[in-house]
Amino acid sequence: MAGHSKWHNIKRRKAAVDAVRGREFAKVSRQIYVAVRNGGADPKQNLALRAAMERAREINMPADTIERTIKKALGDVEGARYEEILYEGYAPGGVAVLVQALTDNRNRTAQTVRHLFHKHGGSLGESGSASYLFRYTGVVQIPRSPQTEQAVLRALDLGAWEVEEDEEVVHLYVEPDALEEVRRTLESEGIEVRASRLTYVPTLTVRVEGETAERVLALLEALDEEDEVQEVYANAEWEDVG
């Protein structure tokens, strides 16, 4: 699974820059707003809100901005009616792409996503055309520490199906319905949990290089820059795109 993490590393670097421009703040504010509207303002009871707040902390969103967004969501009697949509398509080289969006205008967002796929040499497909190449899963992120081995063994006891390590973070992949139990168990045993969320990981990757890799990356970045797009997933595997 390690090959696909290149895009996630690029996204982390982009997020730091985007946060300065306010783009990432706008995306996470929307996540918080929708989470509160759908599930209330208590992050202990609202997994989506907790995940959004964790993401807000990752990008150093000011606490007062988070609080204002929550209050706005609670105070809006009418409020914007957002819906979550998963778009599926293919980038150059046969790379499968999933695009998660939160939108208050389904038609507008679909047109935007379709245009970006076409502009960058890809194509937007029907529901089910690409998602079968991904696994919907929970992931718990913990920092590498002397407790790493203990945390991994505990997660495996609770049904973790994959463990992925990089220089600073260990990713524990668990079934979606086990995410909350794993997080709570690790925290109860004194293990720091940096983040926990639901995500898509590829079950089959496509290696791309050279010009094709550049074109794939250009599409992913263009999609990720749209305010209504929350996450972009791809099953590309590459080594030579900076």
**Residues of the chain with pLDDT > 70: what percent?**
88
Q: Clarify whether residues 196 and 158 are in a common domain.
A: yes
User: Based on the domain organization, do 28 and 147 belong to the same domain?
Assistant: no
Dump pLDDT digits (tens) for 166-218.
888 999 999 998 998 999 899 998 999 988 889 999 999 999 999 999 999 99
Task: Please provide the distance, in angstroms rounded to a whole number, between the alpha carbons at the two ends of the chain.
Answer: 19
Nearest to 48 by CA among 30, 64, 24: 30
222 and 128 assigned to the same domain: yes
Say if residues 219 and 117 touch (Cβ distance below 8 Å). yes
In a domain, residue 242? The reply is no
User: In terms of domains, do 7 and 26 share one?
Assistant: yes
Residue range of the domain that includes 196: 133-202
Separation between Cα atoms, residue 230 and residue 25, nearest integer Å: 11
**Considering 27, 56, 75, which residue would you say is the last residue of a domain?**
75
- Band the pLDDT of 111: cuts 50, 70, 90: very high
Residue 179 falls within a domain, yes or no?
yes
- Whole-number mean pLDDT of the chain? 88
- Both 14 and 60 in a single domain? yes
Among 2-6, 69-73, 108-112, 187-191, which range has the highest average pLDDT?
108-112
Q: Averaged over 35-41, what is the pLDDT?
A: 90
As for how many domains the chain has, the answer is 3
Q: Are 48 and 70 found together in one domain?
A: yes
Sign of CA pseudo-dihedral 194, 198, 199, 203: positive
Higher pLDDT, 160 or 82: 160
Per DSSP, the residues of 99-133 read EEEEES-HHHHHHHHHHHHHHTT-EE--TTSSGGG
